[in-house]
Amino acid sequence: MLPFDTIQAARHAIRSRQISARQLVDHALQRIEAHDRRVRAFNSVHTDRARERADAVDAGLIQGPLAGIPIAVKDNLCTRFGTTTCSSKMLATFHAPYDATVVRKLESAGAIILGKTNLDEFAMGSSTENSAFGPTHNPWDTERVPGGSSGGSAAALAAGMCCGSIGSDTGGSIRQPAALCGLVGLKPTYGRVSRYGLVAYASSLDQVGPFGWTVADTALLLQTMAGHDPRDATSVNQPVPDYLADLDRPVAGLRIGIVKEYQLAAGMDPQVKAAVDDALRKYQELGAELVEVSLPHAEYAIAAYYVIAPCEASSNLARYDGVHYGHRTAAEVKDIVELYSKSRAEGFGEEVQRRIMIGTYALSSGYYDAYYLTALKMRALIRRDFDRAFDKCDLIACPTSPVPAFRIGEKSGGDPLQMYLVDVFTVTANIAAIPGLSLPCGFTSGEKPLPVGLQLMGPVFSEERLLRAARMYEAATDWHRRRPVL
């Protein structure tokens, strides 16, 4: 591992001159060099640029709360340096002409971006197997997936190749890989973090968020990224609280909602259930009260998601035409339509094609009411369920994923639904726009123990409460100190 592998430890070490930013970055680059052939977390590594920036930190030319901290960002966030590929053949050589707002903010705070991480193509997937460049492997067991779609960011951090990382979450794509890799991962309230420069998948659901080993690291990254951005009309103009100020102060009289319907969820791994039940008992010991709440429409969340997300994707991905940027077919074409159709068929992988087709079908003449409008009504019902639940509790706790990390190939066979169902506990937060956080709450037994994640969800803009509640549990447990051996 890195000599200082959390952001807080690294910050302290750099400031007290126990290590220079350059030394820390070199350590991280060596980890990548030594292990990324197996883990395959990175699509691209920017060694020279990272070293130059680290030297600038050491020379006092770059300052800020993240000065010298090596991080990794998902390869669907635009950077002016290198490529932004979305792990798609379509964008394999795409050079973004501008930086995403989060990239700009992180670098302004002094962070050193080591490279861009692998993902399911265009963030469509839950295992990072849908990458056009090959799957990422879970550092806890390299025969298993790291989760997805931000699997590269999760694996890079879990493998000790950086001190923190950034992903995006449309249906669980930060929280689920955080759970499967033993990390803290946060999907903020929709609009809390700017989406400017995040390559769009499903615009009403997408949100950028952080991964950290600890709640404090996660809070610090969120602090750096959150806030209104005039370049994203959906970013919310609301003050950003100081997420770290009261982080160690437990939430007094915390009421945790337990979702009645989730107790009967099919396909739940017994070891996941046991770890989550233990975590809830721990919360009770810490003074929290458990209250039963109901989300009667939660069982329809995946159905609604697989209408809304593909519909938005079919529209967002219409821009890839083989003309303005992206892959263009080398085949002889007779007209522009054939140019579009061949370029897109060659450039997009099968999951992306499937979702574009589902969305196009659902939005096509005669089906709009039956699919899209129904899904938007379901969205209203799911949001109402949460509003009612939060009248009775401060936050909701449940497993992040019904299963621990699965084997590469296990769910990527012929039936895409098997993969979709992994998102059963996470898609609701995106549909309702509320924040969700996953934190480590145990490990499976066996030769290679696998991490289990506990998910906490709260009302919109309750990130501070979620982080404090997560910190209560973290302070009373040791799961966040475990590291995989590569």
The pair of structure tokens assigned to 239 is: 């003050």
Which H or E run includes 451? Answer: strand 451-457
Contact region with another protein (CB under 8 A), list: 12-20, 255-263, 396-404, 427-435: 427-435
Closest to 27 (Cα-Cα) out of 164, 160, 156, 214: 160
Query: Is 74 designated active site?
Result: yes
Of these, 336, 409, 475, 482, which contacts another protein (CB under 8 A)?
336
The 349-388 contact track toward another protein, x by CB under 8 A, reads -x--xx-xxx-xx--x--x--xx-xxxxxxxxx-x-----
HEC string of 49-68 equals: HHHHHHHHHHCCCCCCCCCC
Range 192-231, binding another protein (CB under 8 A): 204, 230
The 430-449 contact track toward another protein, x by CB under 8 A, reads -xxxx---------------
Closest CB to another protein among 256 and 431? 431
- For residue 344, the minimal CB distance to another protein (Å) is 5
In this structure, are residues 164 and 69 in contact, taking their beta carbons and an 8 Å threshold? yes
Query: Is 149 designated active site?
Result: yes
In this structure, are residues 395 and 457 in contact, taking their beta carbons and an 8 Å threshold? yes
The pair of structure tokens assigned to 422 is: 């992994």
Closest CB to another protein among 21 and 434? 434
The pair of structure tokens assigned to 485 is: 């051996």
Q: Is 342 in the site for another protein (CB under 8 A)?
A: yes
**How many chain residues interact with another protein (CB under 8 A)?**
75
- For residue 434, the minimal CB distance to another protein (Å) is 8
What φ, ψ does residue 420 adopt, rounded to 5°? -60, -35
Q: Is 267 in the site for another protein (CB under 8 A)?
A: no
The pair of structure tokens assigned to 155 is: 């694996």
- The single-letter code of the amino acid at 68 is G
Range 297-316, binding another protein (CB under 8 A): 297, 300, 302-304, 306-307, 314
Residue 481, classified by CB atoms within 10 Å of its CB into exposed (0-12), middle (13-18) or buried (19+), is exposed
Tell whether the torsion through CA atoms of 76, 78, 80 and 85 is positive or negative. positive
Q: How far apart are CA 421 and CA 126, in angstroms?
A: 10
Q: Is 327 in the site for another protein (CB under 8 A)?
A: yes
Query: Is 364 designated active site?
Result: no
Q: How far apart are CA 256 and CA 281, in angstroms?
A: 11
- For residue 310, the minimal CB distance to another protein (Å) is 9
- For residue 230, the minimal CB distance to another protein (Å) is 7
Q: How far apart are CA 454 and CA 462, in angstroms?
A: 17
Q: Is 233 in the site for another protein (CB under 8 A)?
A: yes
Range 64-83, binding another protein (CB under 8 A): none
Closest CB to another protein among 211 and 371? 371
Contact region with another protein (CB under 8 A), list: 105-113, 211-219, 321-329, 404-412: 321-329
Q: Is 44 in the site for another protein (CB under 8 A)?
A: no
In this structure, are residues 151 and 139 in contact, taking their beta carbons and an 8 Å threshold? no
The 97-116 contact track toward another protein, x by CB under 8 A, reads xx------------------
Closest CB to another protein among 197 and 404? 197
Of these, 417, 445, 447, 485, which contacts another protein (CB under 8 A)?
417
Question: What is the per-residue DSSP string for 150-202?
Answer: SHHHHHHHHTTS-SEEEEEESSSTTHHHHHHHT-EEEEPPTTSB--TTBPPSS
- The single-letter code of the amino acid at 477 is T
173, 194, 235, 401: the active-site residue: 173
Range 396-415, binding another protein (CB under 8 A): 414-415
Q: Is 265 in the site for another protein (CB under 8 A)?
A: no
87, 131, 149, 235: the active-site residue: 149
Residue matched to tokens 């951090």: 157
Query: Which of the residues are catalytic?
Result: 74, 149, 173
